[in-house]
Chain A
Amino acid sequence: MIPGAKRWLVVAIVLIAIVSAFSKQFNSYYLGIAIDVGINIILAVSLNLIMGHTGQFSLGHAGFMAVGSYTAASFTIACTKHVPESAAPFLLVGGLILGGLLAALCGLAVGVPTLRLRGDYLAIVTLGFGEIIRVVFQNMEAVGAASGLSGIPNYTNFFWSWTTAAIAAYAVAALVNSTYGRGFIAVHDDEIAASAMGINPTRYKVTAFVVGAFFAGVAGALYAHHKQTINPTGFDFMKSFEIVVMVILGGMGRTVGVIIAAILLTILPEMLRPVAEYRMIIYSLLIIVIMMARPQGLFTLRSSKGANT
């Protein structure tokens, strides 16, 4: 129920384009963090569809990210020599789509058998799956095995990172805020009641999983072309947890809250750099305090999911 929602997406992309036109003047350290923020927004928003809206606890999001990352990186590395410099954006977009699609395919392959499980069981299975993906890459000589893949062209810039984030946020919000999409939340609330209302729970869960995995793959592709080196340890379950924390902190199923949480949790560790060795302790303590003070999520103003997207 967002009238003219597409208009907001266009406005957002125009704004991002204007800001990115001046991006050369920014300190490159801050610019790098800004790009990280965009990537984390995509990850958090996509996991929010799976966890927040549809209520399926997934601990394997970094696995989908890895699939997208490696796929896109291999693609651009293979192609970049054969095309002129000016074709870079097309290569990147191609890589994003390719990475996203392959991740979505993995999402489908994992989702169909596992989404019959619930709660803790699903969490464990997805955790295991994420680790399997990581270990596969760790042993795949073609992508550098444990030492990782390097020499990835630096294609990701502020514009692509944030534009993709805007598209991801729009896609999830638009999907959930339709009559079709109310089914995700119905499945989250009560599967038995949902199926009595003609909603196919398995179908909805798999859809959420596939769409979520797609965007995780896209985020991974952006990440690869931002860091220029990727290695399997970057996609371990700590990364999955990080995304889970963003979703919980932002308030499960609140798109705006989750976006703000993604921004905060990306910037916070950087801001805490001056306190060096205490950094992670303070970071963890802050999360504990926030969770105790606002268990419903940091930015949850009202309890119904209807209006607050």
Chain B
Amino acid sequence: MSAPLLKLDQVTIRFGGLTAVSALDFQVNDHDLVGLIGPNGAGKTTVFNLITGVYQPTEGTIAFAGQPTAKRKPHQLTKVGIARTFQNIRLFHSLNVFDNVRAAMQVHRTHGVRQALWRGKAYRAAEKEVEDRVMDLLEIFKLGRLRNEDAKNLPYGDQRRLEIVRALATQPKLLLLDEPAAGMNPTEKAELAGLIRSIKDRFQIAVLLVEHDMQLVMNLCERITVLDYGVKIAEGTPTEIKRHPKVIEAYLGEEQIA
């Protein structure tokens, strides 16, 4: 087995006096579907921001595909294959559905300012290819017929899916989904679960899922890591997690009392 796709080694981040994530060891292998769960404020989104380069760890190292990610900017990490969605949807609101995805094709674009101005044959061919790829992606997620719709006018569920399409357009090796089921009803959640599974199979990528919805994570993920107050309290298969006393205490127990 070669190096894991993503490896967090003793990662700690402090904001002033607050330790948001503390000595976290964690890894994702190729084609994994891994869940990261924990109660509110456990530091899940902070972990996402650490992986994507929004924050730099105070201590510890993060490596992606064997390369340390320290000092690399988010857009550089996207280029090497980390894509993400956001907890609060962050689509490009003044662009339509098609252009939202097209804007995310920067990583693999072959033209720059000069070609865009001159618009020669090679440029037009490249743009045609981009268009085909965007439409392919949109069709897979049944968003093709909405291509000229403004992203901000889409129904909530479609916006979430569009964000996933946009992230996939960067051709990632690892897709980070930040609470993709937030605000969805049970039917939509079931659809989403199927969707995530099919993404993993079709695009042959690893998926790291941060989610509140226990059932979704339990059904979907092969491995789950549980965070509480920035500390990893458990790791294992869904069955193991369900029985883990610390998890029940921190997470499930809390729900039972409530």
Binding site for B on A (CB under 8 A): 1, 3, 5-6, 171, 174-175, 178-183, 185-186, 188-190, 192-201, 207, 211, 253, 303-307
> How does the 8 Å CB contact mask read for B100-141 relative to A, with 1 for contact and 0 for none?
001111110101110111110001101100100000000000
- A160 CB to nearest chain B CB (Å): 20
**Do the beta carbons of A200 and B127 come within 8 Å of each other?**
no
Chain A neighbourhood of B7, CB < 8 A = none
Chain A neighbourhood of B150, CB < 8 A = 303-304
Q: Which 7 A-B pairs have the closest CB atoms?
A: A198-B78, A178-B116, A193-B90, A182-B103, A198-B107, A197-B104, A189-B92
- A72 CB to nearest chain B CB (Å): 22
Chain A neighbourhood of B91, CB < 8 A = 189-190, 193
Binding site for A on B (CB under 8 A): 52, 54, 73-75, 78-79, 83-84, 86, 90-96, 98-99, 102-107, 109, 111-113, 115-119, 123-124, 126-127, 130, 148, 150, 166-167, 169-170
Which of A171, A179, A192 lies in contact with B106, CB distance below 8 A? A179
**Do the beta carbons of A253 and B94 come within 8 Å of each other?**
yes
**Do the beta carbons of A199 and B113 come within 8 Å of each other?**
no
Given contacts A179-B109, A180-B106, whether A171 and B117 have CB atoms under 8 Å apart is yes
Q: Can you identify 5 A-B contacts, CB atoms within 8 angstroms?
A: A174-B119, A193-B86, A193-B90, A196-B74, A198-B170
Which of A174, A194, A253, A307 lies in contact with B116, CB distance below 8 A? A174
Which of B79, B84, B95, B111 lies in contact with A179, CB distance below 8 A? B111
Chain B neighbourhood of A5, CB < 8 A = 119
**Do the beta carbons of B83 and A193 come within 8 Å of each other?**
no
Chain B neighbourhood of A178, CB < 8 A = 111, 115-116, 123, 127
Which of A174, A185, A304 lies in contact with B103, CB distance below 8 A? A185
**Do the beta carbons of A198 and B95 come within 8 Å of each other?**
no
Given contacts A6-B119, A196-B74, A197-B170, whether A306 and B104 have CB atoms under 8 Å apart is no
Rounded to whole angstroms, the CA-CA distance of A305 and B96 in the bound complex is: 7
- B241 CB to nearest chain A CB (Å): 29
**Do the beta carbons of B111 and A180 come within 8 Å of each other?**
yes
**Do the beta carbons of A175 and B117 come within 8 Å of each other?**
yes
**Do the beta carbons of A182 and B95 come within 8 Å of each other?**
yes
**Do the beta carbons of B170 and A182 come within 8 Å of each other?**
no
- B175 CB to nearest chain A CB (Å): 12
Rounded to whole angstroms, the CA-CA distance of A175 and B116 in the bound complex is: 6
- Residue of A with least CB distance to B89: A193
Chain A neighbourhood of B113, CB < 8 A = 175, 180, 207, 211
Rounded to whole angstroms, the CA-CA distance of A193 and B159 in the bound complex is: 14
**Do the beta carbons of B94 and A183 come within 8 Å of each other?**
no
Rounded to whole angstroms, the CA-CA distance of A179 and B134 in the bound complex is: 11
Rounded to whole angstroms, the CA-CA distance of A1 and B113 in the bound complex is: 15
Chain A neighbourhood of B119, CB < 8 A = 5-6, 174
**Do the beta carbons of B73 and A200 come within 8 Å of each other?**
yes
**Do the beta carbons of B94 and A305 come within 8 Å of each other?**
yes
Chain A neighbourhood of B94, CB < 8 A = 185, 188-189, 253, 303-305
- A209 CB to nearest chain B CB (Å): 13
Rounded to whole angstroms, the CA-CA distance of A178 and B102 in the bound complex is: 9
Chain B neighbourhood of A199, CB < 8 A = 75, 103, 106
- B34 CB to nearest chain A CB (Å): 19
- A46 CB to nearest chain B CB (Å): 14
Which of B78, B99, B148 lies in contact with A182, CB distance below 8 A? B99
- Residue of A with least CB distance to B118: A6
Rounded to whole angstroms, the CA-CA distance of A303 and B119 in the bound complex is: 26
- B100 CB to nearest chain A CB (Å): 8
- A58 CB to nearest chain B CB (Å): 19
- B48 CB to nearest chain A CB (Å): 10
- B196 CB to nearest chain A CB (Å): 19
- Residue of B with least CB distance to A200: B75
Rounded to whole angstroms, the CA-CA distance of A193 and B109 in the bound complex is: 18
Rounded to whole angstroms, the CA-CA distance of A198 and B99 in the bound complex is: 15
Q: Name the residue in A193, A211, A307 with the highest tally of chain B Cβ atoms < 10 Å from its Cβ.
A: A193
**Do the beta carbons of B148 and A306 come within 8 Å of each other?**
yes
**Do the beta carbons of A197 and B54 come within 8 Å of each other?**
no
Rounded to whole angstroms, the CA-CA distance of A1 and B73 in the bound complex is: 30
- Residue of B with least CB distance to A1: B127
**Do the beta carbons of B103 and A196 come within 8 Å of each other?**
no
Given contacts A175-B113, A182-B102, A196-B52, whether A189 and B74 have CB atoms under 8 Å apart is no
- A218 CB to nearest chain B CB (Å): 15
Rounded to whole angstroms, the CA-CA distance of A171 and B86 in the bound complex is: 34
Chain A neighbourhood of B115, CB < 8 A = 178, 180
**Do the beta carbons of B116 and A180 come within 8 Å of each other?**
yes
Rounded to whole angstroms, the CA-CA distance of A189 and B99 in the bound complex is: 12
- A190 CB to nearest chain B CB (Å): 5
Rounded to whole angstroms, the CA-CA distance of A75 and B93 in the bound complex is: 45
Rounded to whole angstroms, the CA-CA distance of A194 and B104 in the bound complex is: 8
**Do the beta carbons of A196 and B83 come within 8 Å of each other?**
yes
Rounded to whole angstroms, the CA-CA distance of A68 and B89 in the bound complex is: 43
Which of A180, A198, A304, A306 lies in contact with B112, CB distance below 8 A? A180
Chain B neighbourhood of A186, CB < 8 A = 92, 95, 103
- Residue of B with least CB distance to A53: B94
Chain B neighbourhood of A189, CB < 8 A = 91-95
